[in-house]
Amino acid sequence: MRDKSYPPIRMEIDRREDKVTVTLIGRERTKERFSYILEVTGSSRSRLAASYIGGSASRIVNRTSFPDTPPWRITFQISDGRNRLVHSEEVPDH
Per-residue pLDDT tens for 79-89?
999 999 999 99
For 82-89, which contacts have Cβ atoms below 8 Å and span 24 or more sequence positions?
83/35, 86/2, 86/4, 86/7, 86/8, 86/34, 87/7, 87/8, 87/9, 89/11
Per-residue pLDDT tens for 54-79?
888 899 999 999 999 999 999 999 99
* pLDDT score, position 6: 78
pTM: 0.88
Cα distance between residue 70 and residue 92, in whole Å: 9
Whole-angstrom distance between the N-terminal and C-terminal Cα of the chain? 36
- Report the Cα 12 to chain-centroid distance in Å: 8
Domains and CATH numbers, the chain: 9-92 (2.60.40.2420)
